[in-house]
Amino acid sequence: MRRRRFLWLCSGWLAFPSLEDRPPHILPPAGPLPEEGLKRFTQAKIVGPDGAPLKAADLKEGVAYVFHYPYVSTPCLLIDVGIPLPTRLAMRTMGGRPYVWPGGVGPKRSIVAYSGICSHLMSHPNRLNSFVNYYHRVSRLANRGKVISCCAHGSVFDAAAGGAPIRGQTPQPLLTIALEHNERTDVIKAVGLYGESLILRQFFNLFRRDLRRRYGRGEAIKEVPGVTEAIPMQAFTSQRVSC
């Protein structure tokens, strides 16, 4: 009897594959974004270099796309990590403020976005170089993949779990960009952020002169006006610094 029950349990287990193995069409419908810790900004549709809406199906797995949100000067990374991600993870900022990470969007719930500004000392992607990069397979700093590593001072963040820090000198998670995905049109838009928004104020203060030179006086702190362009990292920056 015990042997038959064991075989029955095994067959039942085999009949229900892991979430990673399940086809996308049987995933449960996406629910609304959790409101705990969500700071909403002007909604911005994410478009490609040709100006057409960037669809979830257009994203290449493992490629980081740079876009700007919620301000015209604050870079972010849009990533399809390739696997369904956990939802509604309880997170805390370095100051102890709680928020709920919503998880991934898209057909496989595998698409996420984070601020590209490192929460340690504000390193970020720019047109000349980027010390902050996504490592889909292996980052030497973390000895694992699906992480965002900052080669400036050795910080590593888990792209598959809310941008939580897993190595380095900061306990502060990366800011999460709240995304909404239209299942009918496959279009993605940014609608707000989760996490410690003080990071953005520090970014503006630290790079005030450079931002003024690049964008003009007062322009860098303007919110994105409804549309933001996403560019693959390799096309956005001249040099990616690897670590």
Q: How many CB atoms lie within 10 A of CB 3?
A: 7
Q: How many CB atoms lie within 10 A of CB 161?
A: 18
Q: Which SS3 state, helix, strand or coil, does residue 56 take?
A: helix
| Cα–Cα distances in angstroms (integers) from residue 32 to residues 9, 24, 92, 106, in the given order | 35, 19, 20, 13
> In this structure, which topology does domain 34-236 adopt according to CATH?
Rieske Iron-sulfur Protein (2.102.10)
pLDDT tens profile 44-95: 999 999 999 999 999 999 999 999 999 999 999 999 999 999 999 999 999 9
pLDDT tens profile 111-152: 999 999 999 999 999 999 999 999 999 999 999 999 999 999
Task: Identify the pLDDT of residue 46.
Answer: 98
Give the pLDDT band (50/70/90) at residue 9: very low
Can you tell me the distance from the alpha carbon of 114 to that of 117, in angstroms, rounded to the nearest whole number? 9
Domain positions in the chain:
34-236
Lowest mean pLDDT among 23-27, 28-32, 144-148, 210-214: 23-27
Task: Identify the pLDDT of residue 241.
Answer: 95
> Residues near 230 by Cβ (< 8 Å), separated by ≥ 6?
46, 47, 48, 54, 65, 66, 67, 78
> Residues near 237 by Cβ (< 8 Å), separated by ≥ 6?
66, 125, 126, 127, 128, 129, 130
Task: Identify the pLDDT of residue 29.
Answer: 64
Can you tell me the distance from the alpha carbon of 142 to that of 168, in angstroms, rounded to the nearest whole number? 10
- Whether residue 25 is predicted with pLDDT greater than 50 in this model: the reply is no
Mean pLDDT of 174-186: 97
Can you tell me the distance from the alpha carbon of 108 to that of 92, in angstroms, rounded to the nearest whole number? 26
DSSP result, 143-189: TBSSEEEETTTTEEEETTTTTEEEESS--PPPPEEEEEE-TTT-BEE
Of 42 and 5, more confident: 42
DSSP code of 209? H
Can you tell me the distance from the alpha carbon of 48 to that of 95, in angstroms, rounded to the nearest whole number? 36
Tokens read off for 110: 């595998």
Of 16 and 105, more confident: 105
Give the pLDDT band (50/70/90) at residue 175: very high
Single-letter amino acid code for the residue at 148: I
Give the pLDDT band (50/70/90) at residue 27: low
Of 8 and 154, more confident: 154
Can you tell me the distance from the alpha carbon of 181 to that of 189, in angstroms, rounded to the nearest whole number? 7
Bridge partner residues of 140 (DSSP): none
Can you tell me the distance from the alpha carbon of 209 to that of 162, in angstroms, rounded to the nearest whole number? 31
DSSP code of 194? E
